[in-house]
Structure formats: structure tokens, C-alpha cells
Amino acid sequence: MFPVHSRIASSDGNTSRVPVSSGCEGFNFRTFRWTQTMLFAINEINGRNDLLPNTDLGYVIYDSCFTISKAVEGTLTYLTGQDEAVPNYRCGTGAPLASLVGAGGSDLSIATARILGLYHFPQVSYSSTCSALKSKFQFPTFLRTIPNDDHQSTAMAQMVLHFGWTWVGTIAADDDYGKYGIKGFKEQVEEAGVCISFSEVLPKVSSPEAIQRIVQTVVESTAKIIVVFSSDVDLSPLIAELLQHNVTNRTWIASEAWVTSALINHPGVSSVLSGTLGFGVKRADIPGLQRHLLDLDPYDDGLTEEFWETLFNCTFSDKARWLNSTLPRAARGVPGGLCTGTESLAQLNNTYSDISQLRITYSVYKAVYAVAHALHNLEHCERGKGPFIGNSCADITDFEPWQLMYYLKNVRFKVPNTEEEIYFDDGDVEGFYDIINWQVNSNGEISYVTVGRYNGSAVPEDRMNINHHSIVWNNEMLKPPRSVCSENCQPGTRKGIRQGEPVCCFDCIPCADGEISNTTNARECILCSGDYWSNDANDACVPKIIEFLAFGEPLGITLIVISAFGALVTIGVGVVFIVHIGTPLVKANDALLSFSLLLSLVVTFLCAIVFLGEPQHWSCMTSQVALALGFALCLSSIMGKAAVLMLRAQALKTARTRARAAAKAAKAAVEAAADSGRPDVIITNTNNINDANTCANPEVDYLTCAHQRAIAAVATLIQVIACTVWLIILPPHPVKNTSAQNIKIILECDEGSVVFICCIFGYDILLALMAFIFAFIARKLEDHFSEAKSVTFGMLVFFIVWISFVPAYLSTRGKFMVAVQIFAILASSFGMLTCIFLPKCYVLLVKPERNTEEMMRPRARPRDGTWTGTSASLATAATEVNATIASTAIDD
Ligand code: TRP
């Protein structure tokens, strides 16, 4: 049974007449070759002496017309043994029926195998590959000489994976062959992570709209690889349409049914199909077949006649047919338009006579031989040693189909000329394929080049064997096309799924800062741990940059220079003070306090340097503590000074009030004495209030000096204690700050305890505030150097610097925080140094004439002509008063 025609003729739809079996149309030269091959094989076997020597094989040919109903009709007719099908009746006489070879496509074979199975009638198929047919339960008498499609689906899946295609389209014929084949393929590739871009089904009956839709899908899809499981008959309308739309740049993966089909591979198709890769079943040369094919007699039967008419595009008139069939070949001949029967087949380049790709043809040949060998074995059963009940044998002239089935199942033979051994393993043969590449040759035609093999019975690694160099891809490319929905995500990025799209379609999302991916197609980015951070490309974790304000860098050097300069200037001031130690000005400003002040400034200047460099345990402790103590000493000295200045200012105020009252009283007394003539009133020395702002007179000022020193000492001591406790309990220590800036590790000092540092520097601020308040109160105390004013001013500078420090500090990051801190320290130290010591140095060095006892005294400040002002004027007034009194007394 062969699908010699491609379809059944459409019925006229008239239901009022007796229905007749519809005719077939679309003569298929390729399948006709298969038919002829069966005849050739039967002839060959009948001519052999070693195979079925005493028995001749006969045959009936049924045309299944690629249609299930025709195949079923044929099967029933065959079983009936008449021209008409009478189910369940055997009307034929003569030789027993042996086996059905056929029926063509899998869907046809499935239909026929179900009927034949009922009668235990063997069927050997040469082309039905569908995996469903392997079920012995459903198809107990079905055998085939072509591999099961399970192998082909696996082979295709392996090929797709082999070339790294992850985005493929599939097209299947609308039959068991297409559906099962594509299903097997899809299952395997999808398991391996390949995505199916589209799955189309080719219509069985001509449907231009459906074909149009498929073309549209193919054009719109980005898949460059299209797998097609279909017979050539079903596929050819699509190929024609693709040619019209000039759909190029696709690589087609062909199943065995169309890989070597002339129906598809016709001239002009190369633009669409060049580069196609496909699987062809085993090929062989069959010696003598070509002769047989070319020797075909058109008058043999209706089929050969139709073949002839179709091939040569002529008709046999009834008369001519009768005439010619009676004549020997050489004498034939009829006028034009009609077939002569002498046309030369050899001159025509037709797929019928093309024996270059004998694949299914070879399968037909093997099928006939399998039946012949089974019959041979049946015939040569040794009596008494038979396989059937009672060791009986079957009779070749009258055997039951199931008896032949037994022999067919167990047949094992070598195919003539090829030495291929055939046996049925559960009805199937081994899965062997040639991998065929469609290459355009110099004539612009497509030739089939075998570029590899697939052997389904080998171990999985060795199954596929492809010679890459011999493959020519579409558009003459030398490297395999890429077929991916989305290009690989490079290291540094990760796959981001697209909602509602297959997993192969994704976006590549760059890893966030601090995260990396070091593989292609990473699903997640990995967070760099601890001391590591992502590099610019986000493909590796690199150690974070370690940051601290180093000694060597320009900013560090600048700060060192400035603080060294500050320290030197402070020391210079100290030297100037030592040189002028005896002078009134130095004496007037308690030298000890001045030196402690200078010392503290040197400390603060120098501790700025300790802030630089990589923080160590010692440097963290030293810098913070030295700064706290330096400031404490400095500020407490200033505060002591200011406190005493304030006290003195207050004392002066009370003294002045008292003196003014005394003077008033004296004046009144003098006037009264003058009036009364009693000059015995003597006003004694009022000088003791004049020298109040110096420590020059220990007897007088001992208390004040001691006071300010004591204040300074106590205030500093408190800080010393606080710092000691701090250092013991929670000392500052170096830490790696990784949180402030992602890409850097900032080496810094941790204060140990926020409470402590607040207390300690809060205490410094408190001292500063007190110093400021005291000095502010005392600022009206008029001496020549306005000590209180300079202290006020110095403290103001101090406050301004530290208040502006806060926002500056908070808005910087990393090592610049240290720089800001150092700047604040240096600025406040310079501020205090300048405000407190610059005026004094100016006098000591530039205006030594002002450095007198006199100048150290509070100045007179006349106000509205009355008794106001300083003690000096008060003294003068008192002296005057005395003198007046005295003179008055003398006058008296
Ligand atoms: N393997 C196909 C099936 O099982 C039949 C087939 C093989 C075929 N080769 C072919 C059909 C060539 C048409 C043409 O259905």
C-alpha cells in the first residue's frame, strides 16, 4: 500500500446519487518509485534460488492517496480479497495473503494497523515513523523497517542544544507524525531550557489562509531556527508561500519525510531553504533498481499509464492505448498530443528515476525482504520442530497470518549488497540517521551533503557526530546562526524576567553598586561582603579603598606645616615672655598662667598632627585626650584669668563707690573744717586699690594670683580625672567605618563612648562659656591692654570657629572630616593665640616704652566732671583733698 496520489479528489457534494469511492489526484513520482521498488524486490526475490526457491511472491498494490479512508478501504478490500470491501469476509481464492507492506504516513498506518491487528495480520511499514506505533498493545502486528521517531525527536533536540539555539519555532503536520514528533522534540528541548517561539500546525486540506497565517508568524518571530515535522506533501504549500514572501535568513531543521524530497527541493527554493539541516534515514544503493525503473512499461496497469501521462504530459487515447499495447515497444507510435509509449524516461530528470537518495526506497526494499525471509523461514520449518502447538509447522500454501507474524517477529537477515542486518527489536529497528545539509552547488541547485551521523543506540555522548566544517549555513555563513530571544547577560548584569514571556526572553539588569555577577546569565547578583565592594564593571568584588588622612598627602602636609608653625609661634611667644620676664607687662599677666596657656596652645597645635595618619590605638587615645586636656588647660587658664578680672572689676566698682563716698565725706569735712577752722582731718593713703591687676605685689595680690591659678588648676584637674576615667572605661579606639561610604573603608577613631566625649568636650565648652562671660563682665576694667577685652574677643573667635565647625563637619565625609576637625583646632588655637598674646608681644617687642608700671594701672576715664573713673584719679583727688586740707589747716 503506497500513497501514490497526494489527495483524494473532492466530491461533488451530490448526496442524491449512490455514493462511490472518491478518486485520487496529485500523482507523486517519489512514492511511485517506492511502489516500483517493491515490484523490483519481489522480482529479485522470485528470481533467487536461495530465498523462497519454490515459492513465488505475488502482490496487489493499493493506493492510500495520503488519506486514512482510502487506506482503510484498501485494507478491507485486501482482506476481502475482491475488488470490493466486505468487512470480515474472505472471498478471495488462491494463494494466501502474506503481509501488508505500507501504508505510507503514520496516520494511515495507525488506521490500517488497527484493522490488521484484529485479524493478527502482519503489517511491515517502510515509512511510518510515529512513536505511537511502537505500542504492541495497540498495534500487535505492526513492524517497521524505519526508525521510530523517538530517536529523531531526540536527535533534533540534541542538535538544537548542540548549536546553543534557545529560541526555536516549530511547525508540525496536522497528523500523528507531526504532532507526536514535535511533542517529543519540545519535551526534550524545553527540559533543557530552550524556549519555543511559536508552534504552528500545517493544514491537511489546502487552506491558503492558514498558510498565510503561518508565514506571518514565521516572519514576525525572531527565532532563526524552525523545526518542521511534516511530510513533503503537507509542507510544500508553505514553502511556496515563503518563497513568495522571500522569507530568508532562517535555518530549517528537516524531519526524514522531507529532507530529501524533490517536492520541496525544486529550483529557486535555495534562497529560503539553503543551509537546511535534516535527518535522513539510512541510505543504500540498490543495484539494478535504476534499470527496473527505467524499463517501466506504461501499459502495465492503470498506475503506470497515469504515471506516464503525468510525466510526459500526454494522454493515451483509448484506441492508441489498445493499438500500442498490442505492439512490441519498438513498433509503437501515435501522432502528437498523445503518448506514444516510447518516450524516454532516462532523458527526463525526474525524482522517480533519481536513485541518489534511496532512503525510504531502501526501507521499502528491506520491508519486502523481511516478509520474504519470514516466508522463507516458514516454508523451511522442519517438521516436528515447528514453533507452533505440538511443534507443528505452518504450510506455505495455506498458513494463518499470525503464523507468519511469528516468523516476521523473529526474522534476522542481511540485506543484499549492503550487509545491513535487519531484525525487529519489539517491532522497531535501530535509530540511525544521516545528518543532511542543503548546500547550494555551482549550478545554483541544492545538493544534499551528509555532514554527520546520529546513532541512537550509541552511548548518549557519542550519539551525534557532526562535521562542523562541512556545514554551509544559510546565506553562505560559515558559523552557525544564533537563535536566542535575548542575548546572554554578561557578567555584571543579571537576568530580569519579562512578565508573560518565555524564560529565554529576559532583560539584562545591571547589578547594583556593591553587588556583582561573575557568570554569564546569572540569575542573581551577589552582594560583596564586608571589606569588599564591586568594581566598575560589577563583575568582581574588590577590596574597598582604605581611606584616612595620610601624612604624606598634600592636605596632610599642609596641616602639619600649619600646626608646626602654630606651635613654633607659641613657643616664640613663650621665649619673648621669658626674655621679658621681669618687665611689668609680664609681671602684670601672671607669668605662670601665661606659660600654662602657651603650653596648652602648643599641645593643641601639636595634637592636631596626631589626628593625621592611620588611626592606631595610641593615636586615637592621644589625639582626643590631648585635645580635651589642651583645651581644658587653655580654657581654664583663660577662665581663671577672666574670673579674677571679673572679681577685680567688681571690687574696683565697690572700691570706687566707697572712695567716692569717702572723698565726698572728706570734701565735706574739709569744707566743714575750713568753715569751722579745724584742720585736723588727715586722709591717709588710698593707694592699695591701685595695683589690683598685677601679681607684682605679692603681699597685696597674693590672693588674686593664687585664686586664678587655683581656678585653672582645679578646672584642669577635673578634666584630667574625666579623661582618665574615659581612658580606663571606654577608651577611644580605631575602627573601620564601612557604612559611611560604600566604596571605602574609612579608618577613624571611635570615641568609645558618646556620653564621655560629650561630657569631656561639653566641659571644655562650659569652661569657654564661663571664660567668655567672666571676661565680658570684666571688659569695662580699663587697663592699657584691655586684658578682659582681648579675652572676650579670643573666646568669641573660639565660639565662631567651633560653631561653624559643626555644619562643616557634618557635611563632609571620610578623611575630610578629620581635616575639618584639624582646621577647627588650628583656627581656634590661632584665634586665641592672636587675641590674647599678639597685643602683649606688640608692646614687648615694638613699644617697650609702654611697658611701665604706670601703664599697667587702670586708666582714668573722666566722665561729666565729677568723681568718677579709675583709682588713679581717685588717688589724685585724694591727694588734692589732703593738700587742700593741709593748706587750709596751715592757713588756719
Ligand atoms: N514518516 C512519515 C510518517 O510517519 C511518513 C513519510 C516518510 C513520508 N517519508 C515520507 C510521507 C515522504 C511523505 C513523504 O508519517
Assigned C-alpha cell, 144: 517497521
Strands 24-27 and 5-8, sheet pairing: antiparallel
Q: Which carries the bigger pLDDT value, residue 333 or residue 576? A: 576
| Model confidence at 784: pLDDT above 60 | no
405 in the same domain as 377: yes
Give the mean pLDDT of 323-331: 66
> Relative to the CA of 105, which ligand 1 atom is closest?
15
Q: What is the mean pLDDT of residues 867-887?
A: 41
**pLDDT tens across 377-388, in order?**
998 888 888 888
Q: What's the pLDDT at 683?
A: 43
329, part of any domain: no
The reported pLDDT for the residue numbered 872 is 42
What is the number of the ligand 1 atom nearest to the C-alpha of 178? 15
In this predicted structure, the answer to whether residue 39 has a pLDDT above a threshold of 90 is yes
Does any domain span residue 289?
A: no
Best residue among 153, 177, 259, 362 to mutate for probing ligand 1, ranked by most atoms within 8 Å of CB: 177
What mean pLDDT do residues 5-16 have?
Answer: 78
Q: Are residues 261 and 208 in the same domain?
A: yes
239's torsion region: left (phi>0), alpha (psi -120 to 50) or beta? alpha
Distance CA 806, CA 799 (A): 11
Residues in the ligand 1 pocket, defined by CB under 6 Å: 105-106, 127-130, 177, 231-233, 256-257, 360
Using one digit for the tens of pLDDT, what is the confidence trace for 707-723? 778 888 888 899 899 88
How much distance in Å is there from the Cα of 130 to the middle of ligand 1? 9
CA of 81 to the centre of ligand 1 (A): 27
151: pLDDT strictly greater than 50? yes
According to DSSP, residue 96 is labeled P
Is the pLDDT at 876 greater than 60? The verdict is: no
- Assess whether pLDDT exceeds 80 at residue 149: yes
User: Is 507 found in the same domain as 457?
Assistant: no
Q: Considering its fold, how many domains does the chain have in total?
A: 4
pLDDT at 846: 86
Question: Ligand 1 atom 9: the closest Cα is on which residue?
Answer: 257
Task: Give residue 201's pLDDT.
Answer: 93
pLDDT at position 386, please?
A: 86
Determine the pLDDT at residue 858: 56
CATH, residue 757: 1.20.1070.10
Identify the CA nearest to 137 among candidates 111, 117, 116, 107: 117
Residue 319 is predicted with a pLDDT of: 62
Which residue, judged by its Cα, is nearest atom 10 of ligand 1? 257
**CA nearest ligand 1 atom 6, residue:** 257
Instruction: Give the domain-ending residue among 518, 543, 568.
Output: 543
Does residue 723 sit in the same domain as residue 629? yes
Q: What is the pLDDT of residue 331?
A: 62
**Mean pLDDT taken over the chain:** 83
The pLDDT assigned to 565 comes to 93
Residue 693 confidence (pLDDT) above 50: no
Name the closest-CA residue to atom 11, ligand 1: 231
User: Residue 694: is its pLDDT beyond 70?
Assistant: no
User: Residue 505 pLDDT > 60, yes or no?
Assistant: yes
Please report the pLDDT score of residue 861 as a whole number.
46
pTM here is 0.68
Q: Within this chain, do residues 43 and 184 fall inside the same structural domain, yes or no?
A: no
The values of phi and psi at residue 169, to 5°, are: -105, 155
Q: Establish if 312 belongs to a structural domain.
A: no
Residue 5 Cα, ligand 1 centroid: separation in angstroms? Answer: 13
For residue 334, the model assigns a pLDDT of 55
Q: Is residue 353 part of a domain?
A: no
Do 442 and 409 reside in the same domain of the chain? no
At 681, the pLDDT band (50, 70, 90 cuts) reads very low
Rounded CA separation 208/203 (Å):
9
Reading the block at residue 165, the C-alpha cell is 539555539
CB 615 within 8 A of CB 734: yes
Q: What pLDDT, in 10s, does the model give residues 723-751?
A: 898 888 888 888 888 777 777 888 888 87
State the pLDDT confidence band at 369, using cuts at 50, 70 and 90. Answer: very high
C-alpha 431 to ligand 1 mean position (Å): 16
Mean pLDDT is lowest, of 185-199, 263-277, 876-890, for 876-890
Hey, which of 127, 177, 359 would you mutate to test ligand 1's pocket, going by the most ligand atoms within 8 Å of its Cβ?
A: 127
- Rounded mean pLDDT of 407-420? 89
534-565 residues labelled b (16+ CB within 10 A) or e (exposed): beeebbebeebeebbbeeeeeebeebbebbee
Specify the pLDDT at position 674: 63
* Closest among 80, 83, 99 to 91, alpha carbons compared: 80
440-496 pLDDT per residue, tens: 888 888 889 999 999 988 888 889 999 988 888 887 777 888 888 888 888 999 998
Say if residue 506 is in the same domain as residue 460.
no
Looking up cell 555522548, which residue turns up? 461
Residue whose cell numbers read 571664660 = 771
- Is residue 225 classed exposed, middle or buried when 0-12, 13-18 and 19+ CB atoms within 10 A define those classes? buried
One domain for residues 800 and 725: yes
Distance 126 CA to ligand 1 centre (A): 9
Residue 890 covered by a domain: no
* Average pLDDT of span 131-139: 90
Instruction: Mark whether 137 and 271 lie in a shared domain.
Output: no
- 662 CB-near residues (< 8 Å, 6+ apart): 683, 686
Q: Which atom of ligand 1 is nearest to the CA of 360?
A: 9
pLDDT of residue 26: 87
CA of 542 to the centre of ligand 1 (A): 61
> What share of the chain has pLDDT > 90, as a percent?
26
CA distance 478 to 267: 23
Domain range holding 677? 554-873
Quickly state the pLDDT bin for 114 (edges 50, 70, 90): very high
The answer to whether 197 and 222 are in contact (CB under 8 A) is yes
The answer to the question of residue 79 being in a domain is yes
pLDDT of residue 699: 41
- Is 408 part of any domain? yes
- pLDDT per position as a tens digit, 215-235: 999 999 888 899 999 998 899
pLDDT tens, 613-638? 888 888 888 888 888 888 888 888 88
| Region for 865 from its dihedrals, namely left if φ exceeds 0, alpha if ψ lies in -120 to 50, beta otherwise | left
User: Higher pLDDT residue, 20 or 702?
Assistant: 20
Q: How far is CA 640 from CA 171, 182, 526, 716, 768, in A?
A: 100, 99, 62, 11, 11
List pLDDT tens digits, range 255-295: 999 999 888 888 888 888 888 999 999 999 989 998 998 88
- Which atom of ligand 1 is nearest to 107's Cα? 15
128 Cα to the center of ligand 1, angstroms? 6
DSSP 775-788: HHHHTT---TT-HH
Task: Indicate which CATH number applies to the domain containing 72.
Answer: 3.40.50.2300
User: What is the reported pLDDT for 886?
Assistant: 40
Q: How far is the CA of 523 from the centre of ligand 1 (A)?
A: 43
846 or 691, higher pLDDT: 846
- CB–CB of 520/492 below 8 Å? no
What pLDDT is attached to residue 188? 92
Contact 793, 839 (CB under 8 A): no
Reported confidence tier of residue 327, pLDDT bands at 50, 70, 90: low
* Cα 281 from Cα 435, distance rounded (Å): 9
> Which DSSP helix (H) or strand (E) runs through 537?
none
| Statement: residue 179 has pLDDT above 90 | yes
Structural domain ending residue among the three candidates 419, 447, 466: 419
127 C-alpha to center of ligand 1: Å? 5
Indicate whether 512 and 630 sit together in one domain. no
Read off the C-alpha cell for 281. 534515514
Q: Write down the pLDDT at residue 326.
A: 66
Phi and psi for 300 in degrees, rounded to 5?
-55, -55
Residues 833 and 701 in one domain: yes
Band the pLDDT of 558: cuts 50, 70, 90.
very high
Using the Cα atoms of residue 141, residue 145, residue 149 and residue 154 in order, give the sign of their dihedral.
positive
Angle between helices 149-162 and 176-191 (to 10 degrees): 40
% pLDDT > 70, the chain: 89
pLDDT(819) > 70: yes
> Is residue 784 a part of any domain in this protein?
yes
Protein residue with least CA distance to atom 5, ligand 1:
105
CA gyration radius, the chain: 59
764 close to 825: Cβ distance less than 8 angstroms = no
Count of other CB atoms within 10 angstroms of residue 503: 15
What's the pLDDT at 256?
A: 92
Q: How far is the CA of 361 from the centre of ligand 1 (A)?
A: 12
Q: Are residues 751 and 857 in the same domain?
A: yes
